[in-house]
Amino acid sequence: MQPDQVIGGRYKIIGPLGEGGMANVYRAYDMILDREVALKIMRLDMRDDPIAKKRFENEIRASTELVHPNITQVYDYGDDDGNQYLVTEYISGPDLKRYETDNFPLPLTKVVDIMGQVLSGVQEAHNHGIIHRDLKPQNVLMTVDGTAKITDFGIARAQSSFGMTQTNMAIGSVHYMAPEQVRGEPATPQSDIYSLGIMLYELLAGKVPFDGETSVAVAIKHTTDPMPLVRESDPRIPQAVENVILKATAKNPLERYDSANAMRMDLATALSPDRVNDARWISPSANDETEPTKVMTTIKGQTTANEAKLSEKTATVMAVNRDNDEATATTAGQADQQPKPFYKKKRVWLVGILAVLAAFIIGLTIYGMQTPKQATVPEVQDMSLQSAKDELAAANLKPGTITYKYSETTKSGDVLASQPKAGAHVARDAKIKLTVSKGPHKIRFGDYRNEAYETVADRLKAKGYTVTNSHEHSDSVPVGYIIKQSIKPDKKVIPNKTTVNFVVSMGPEKIDLPQASQKSVEDSEAVSRATNPSVASSKSERREESSTSETSQSTSSTDSEKPDTYSNSEVSPSTPQVSSSSSTTVSGQMIKERKR
């Protein structure tokens, strides 16, 4: 993409900002809303892949529902001549990697504050069922006021379908990749928590805990090497802070924090004086994992207690499995050495039958002892979560992983399903996975002011909205563009149950001036007198002269023999005269005043 190129009819590219696994990022200018934005455009080498395009689009739409102060806000998305794009808010500050490099070492309070913000944003994403999968300092942007904002939500999720087949896609993230991701297992919220633990280590130590010449070497270290202790690089770091790192980066995902919020709360109190004497956190499975490799030294002629137990257990099993064979072999051996008399054959048969029965009974007993007691999974669908937990407890079962899913039919907080399903037979105290309804899927409505109504209406109708409109004149909003909307931008709504009304601009209002109507002479004179007293006085004198003249002419017509009377009716030289040109001027002024 070149500078000044316009995408989507409104976003003018200013210059490149960076490149990612699936998209290139540009700084752009929104020509309609007059603001700078970040414009992400899908890479050319992936846009022809229908699966990649579909996942890119789905994940972009999913990320539009993430409204949080610590997540970059999504403004718009679309397709321009085959180029899928995503528009987000533009952050002028550096990413966390550059921020840490420029300001290292960071104060402990600042590190806790930044990580608290990031964890808060990650928890919001997890609440919506979105896993970032590529958390690293490069994907956290810092504003000028110190606010941390996570970026690249959704795109990293689509990127996981490509694995590590493209080396430049995995090298940048392998330093923060959880062991289960390295093994190719699906990412979970605990995978994000592992990455956050690595980030916390790096902010404190100034380097990543695992490094190597190749990405494969680093990945192997994540799965096999123990987590380095951050206090070895700086003993001033409290043990409670180091414990947060150790628990977040446990090799076993089940030993990590249950949620990002739990990690945030633990970190928030790590600098408290009450936790100065905290002991180092140790993985609960550390002893279990190393016990099989221990070498036990013994004194000649003695065995350890473990060996004795193992021998006893093995002997018991062998006795159960081979009881009949050993009994038969012993009998055969004694027969060879000392033949039995004929009258004792019945006793031998009886002993053999009794031995077989005893072995059968012992076998059933041992099998019953080794077989765990079972329980039946109860029906918990459509129950509240607490009621479902109580029902499981009554059946000698425990609730396992609880996941949340949107549902149009089941109200929020009620159980959608269990795994295993109701009626299944499982071991007592087994953990049953529950899926709980989040209610109907609500999404942020968005701000569509100053956008073309037709485009917005088509897009919203495709999502299930009911769209209506009304019209108003506007001097600032172009014709056909939206002036205001009936729903607030940040309101969460259900598309197929939402009706929105847009007020659409008709452009500036046109004012038609009415034609000047005829007015009486008195009105004209009143206007003239108000604007030009001298002209008004002159006109009054003319009216008087005209009246005198008419009187004289009338007298002359009745008495034509009195010329002196007619002569006396003439205007004296001292009387002000108004010429025809003056009359024209006054008339023009009156017309102008009328128009005013």
Q: Point out the annotated binding site for ATP.
A: 40
Kind of pairing between the strands at 35-42 and 83-89: antiparallel
Question: Can you tell me the distance from the alpha carbon of 223 to that of 181, in angstroms, rounded to the nearest whole number?
Answer: 10
Q: Which residues, including other chains, have CB under 8 Å from residue 8's CB and lie 6 or more apart?
A: 76, 78, 80, 85, 87
Which one-letter amino acid corresponds to residue 180? E
CA-to-CA distance for 200 and 111, rounded, in angstroms? 8
Please give the Cα distance from 51 to 62 (Å, whole number).
Answer: 16
CA atoms within 13 A on the CB side of 261: 5
Q: At what angle do helices 189-205 and 108-127 cross, to 10 degrees?
A: 170
- Cα separation, 16 vs 24, whole angstroms: 8
Instruction: Point out the catalytic residue in the list 30, 134, 152, 414.
Output: 134
Rounded CA gap, 258 and 248, in Å? 10
447 is catalytic: no
Residues 6+ apart with CB under 8 A from 83: 7, 41, 42, 47
Distance CA 397, CA 29 (A): 58
Cα angle vertex 515, ends 511, 516, to 5°? 125
Say if residue 105 is preceded by a cis peptide, omega within 30 of 0.
yes
- Taking the alpha carbons at both ends of the chain, their separation in whole angstroms is 57
d(CA 416, CA 384): 10
CA 297 distance to own-chain centroid: 57
Longest dimension (CA), the chain: 200
Give CA–CA dist 160/422, Å, rounded: 34
- For 308-341, give the DSSP string: HHHHHHHHHHHHHHHHHHHHHHHHHHHHHHSPPP
Tell me the torsion sign for CA atoms 76, 78, 80, 82: positive
Name the burial class of residue 97, with classes exposed (0-12), middle (13-18) and buried (19+) by CB atoms within 10 angstroms of its CB.
middle
Return binding residues. Answer: 40
Instruction: Assess contact for 279 and 247: CB atoms under 8 A.
Output: no
Contacts of residue 213, defined as CB under 8 A and 6 or more positions apart, other chains included, come to none
Helix residue ranges, H only, 338-408:
345-370, 385-394
How many of the other CB atoms lie within 10 Å of CB of 494?
A: 15
| Calpha distance 158→47 (Å, rounded) | 13
Q: Which residues are known catalytic residues? A: 134
